[in-house]
Amino acid sequence: MNKSDKNYALITGASRGIGKAMAYELASRKINLLLVSLKGEGLAELGEKIRDKYGVDVQYFETDFYQYESVYDVANWVIPNYSLSILINNAGIGGTRAFESVSPEYIDTIIQVNIRATSMLTRLLLPELKKHEKGYILNVASMAAFSPFAFKTVYPASKAFVSSFSQGLQEELKDTNVFVSVIHPGPVKTNADVTARIEKQGIFGRMGQVSPQKLANIAIQQLFNRNSLILPGILNKINWVLMALSPNALKLPILSRVVRKEIYSSRPVNPALCVIEQ
């Protein structure tokens, strides 16, 4: 296969939720797509729908970022075949469980997907991004990055890594053609289980909630406007200020009580669905 002369955007975790919404947003701007997600999540059908609606080229690759070689497999698919100018590291997982109740594999999966895949895929594809007049990297963190939580523990820590990594890399690349941005979504109802968990948190859990479609529009517009830190919506901006000003001794027990409701609600979440993709 000869390398395409078209420019593409690559989106991880593209089959649903935020990633799917970003795929539609980019396609509406006539940007060709490389979609990456787990097997069996309908990437082929999604690609066909986007092609038919927007007339852009859409290719896909199925992989599991928990597997060590997966980031290399994606890079080896992209680099020889496609001209990549936009990378969106959206794939992410998390859940709400008491730390001592989860398996080591549960913890390792969050680390592998949220931290390793984001940083390694960026490193592997950065040389390709630098070949373009304008290159963009968008990493999806979370408002949870700004505070630790009980009963989540590893997830907000992993998103704090994504935030710090993104800001550090942008400073490193500020004199190059590649711009790095990080978005911190608040609650987003990406699927039935996430919706149930948000509802269990009550009013505090729903603060700053933005639909996937609105979030995607804000993210892509601000990325192209070269905003390095994206806080979608007024409430999330207010929450960011409040969390920055509040000491952990104050915010940690309050936020943890909100999250605790997910575990001890009268309507328990299916344990099999405790790890959720973005």
The H or E element containing residue 37 is strand 32-37
Scored b (16 or more CB within 10 A) or e, 156-188 reads bbbbbbbbebbbebbeebeeeebbbbbbbbbbb
Q: How far apart are CA 1 and CA 251, in angstroms?
A: 54
Place of tokens 């963009």: 136
Catalytically annotated residue among 8, 24, 60, 155: 155
Q: How far apart are CA 272 and CA 277, in angstroms?
A: 13
* C-alpha 233: how far from chain center: 17
* Residue 136 annotated in active site: no
The residues annotated as belonging to the active site are 155
